[in-house]
Structure 1
């Protein structure tokens, strides 16, 4: 079953979404749910309109993207990225859970930031054939079933570290007062260096970055849903000791100051 986009998925300037494209997501089958968070489908029809760039806040997940000429498996980024939409089209994606892609390849996910992996090498799938088969479908569930058939033969055994990593990231997202990696180490009883190595290997980004991202995504979502955010209060609510530090972190990921982002959203 599919559902519509929600703010937590990192879409920037959420008010624009329904005017420019449709984005839905579909839950994976039970046997794949340990590794995959959801499948996502973007459709747009901008024929006769100006092209549009939709920016997305990065997240600590690996994505398998089926897109004409660009089908590949992409690691987590560290800055916002944009999808250039023009004419009419569709893109299909598989969002793995944080750490959920590592068991398929058993190599550091941090190495994927600059070098996407080939679906041919990982899943023995011809990217052109995958694009032709999947993107030709009108029914989303049929798209999902085709991609699940590609992934299923390579399905590894469940890895307890994936569960542990997701518990940590859930805790970060649910506890806005978590601002330091030391807090995670104390709460989960793990050595700091061990945690950093685990995230480098399985997630591809550091736990410090995940904490920073959670705070900034929270700020961006608040900006999307508030007419006039109180930046001073918001920065304090997110655990920042001063507003200037909050603005610096916001700009490092979003590429704009909070004020610039808020004005753009109007």
Structure 2
């Protein structure tokens, strides 16, 4: 089961505005990992940049003036917040792909409009009452009602793609595609096709994203642990390989990241 307290994904948690995750009802757990809800009120003339190392999944986001579908990302990303606003979103399980009838591979790095007025209207109505975070549960309930009404059950291959994400996200020593394929009882080629069809990224990219998220969390939360020790625990070949992944995806070194986060915890 997804953990709403999972600290991975956000590079600088101390900079988050009012943020909450809510698990979906059991009957929707195959479609949604969790709902995430954020409210912000930024002073005039200022912008708050939220730097992210996203989970390799799609997000269906409700935010005035409409609904958007964000595809998986191949690198770090950010959202700039200004003024006063809100967003209510679902972090989608891979199995939701068949229900939404979209191709995540075609959406990598993109955010596109999604025509869902029946989702936008009730959530906007709830939030326009001005109750802020007190309305989060009502928003998640309205989101769940729309999903039940609008999306058919996932197919068997989508559920298998969910298993792949669950395995990689909870197994810190999952380091290669062959290991994951064996764990799921499938061939490497079948796993590659499954990952591209339902996640939009090659399986190795998915594995590396979770390993890098885990590394960033440990670097951020364990300042007394050396980066070489973290690299060894996560079965990187050595510290240099971890540093290379950091620079390639995030644009800076693990030690620089630790320095940037040390004053924000």
Which TM-score band (shorter chain)? Answer: 0.7 to 0.9
Deviations 1:169-193 (A, max 9, x none): 2222333222110111223221111
- 1:106 equivalent in alignment to 2:105: no
| Aligned position for 1:158 | 154
Contact 2:97 2:198 in 1 (8 A): yes
Question: In structure 1, how many angstroms separate the alpha carbons of the residues matched to 2:101 and 2:124?
Answer: 29
Q: C-alpha displacement at 1:69, in angstroms?
A: 4.1
Judging changes above 3 Å, is the alpha-carbon distance between structure 1 residues 59 and 133 closer, same or farther for their aligned structure 2 residues?
A: same
Between the aligned partners of 1:241 and 1:204, the Cα distance in structure 2 is 27
Q: Unaligned regions of 5+ residues in structure 2, if any? A: none
Please tell me whether the aligned partners of residues 63 and 93 of structure 1 are also in contact (alpha carbons under 8 angstroms).
Answer: yes
- 1:236 deviation in Å? 1.2
What TM-score, normalized to structure 2?
A: 0.86
Over the residues paired in the alignment, what is the CA RMSD in angstroms?
2.4
Mean CA deviation greater in 232-241 or 141-150: 141-150
Q: 1:74 aligns with which of 59, 70, 74?
A: 70
How many positions carry a matched residue from both structures? 256
- The Cα offsets for residues 14-47 of structure 1, whole Å up to 9 and x where unpaired, read as 2333xxx111012223332221111111112222
> In terms of mean alpha carbon deviation, does 138-147 or 255-264 score higher?
138-147
Question: Which of 37, 59, 62 is 2:58 aligned to?
Answer: 62
Summarize deviations over 1:68-93 as a string: whole Å, max 9, x none.
Answer: 34631111111111111223221111
Which residue, 38, 41, 47 being the options, matches 1:42?
38
Indicate the SS of the match to 1:90. strand
**Does the 8 Å contact 1:216/1:250 carry over to 2?**
yes
C-alpha separation in 1, matches of 2:97 and 2:109: 16
The TM-score normalised by the length of structure 1 is 0.86
Residues 250, 115 of structure 1: alpha-carbon distance in 2 compared, 3 angstrom cutoff = closer
CA contact (8 A) 1:107 1:201 kept: no
CA contact (8 A) 1:119 1:126 kept: no
Residue in 2 that maps onto 1:16: 15
The verdict on how the C-alpha distance between 1:238 and 1:90 changes in structure 2, with shifts beyond 3 A counting, is: same
Report if aligned partners of 1:15, 1:224 keep a CA contact under 8 Å in 2: no
Shift of 1:130: 6.4
- 1:89-168 alignment runs, 5 A limit: 89-97=85-93, 99-120=94-115, 123=116, 125=117, 129=121, 132-133=124-125, 135-137=127-129, 138=131, 139-168=135-164
Q: Is there any run of 5+ residues in structure 1 with no aligned partner, and where? A: none
* Cα pair 1:53 1:83 within 8 Å, conserved: yes
**Structure 1 residues 175 and 47 mapped into 2: Cα distance closer, same or farther (>3 Å)?**
same
Alignment partners' CA distance in 2, 1:141 and 1:128: 16
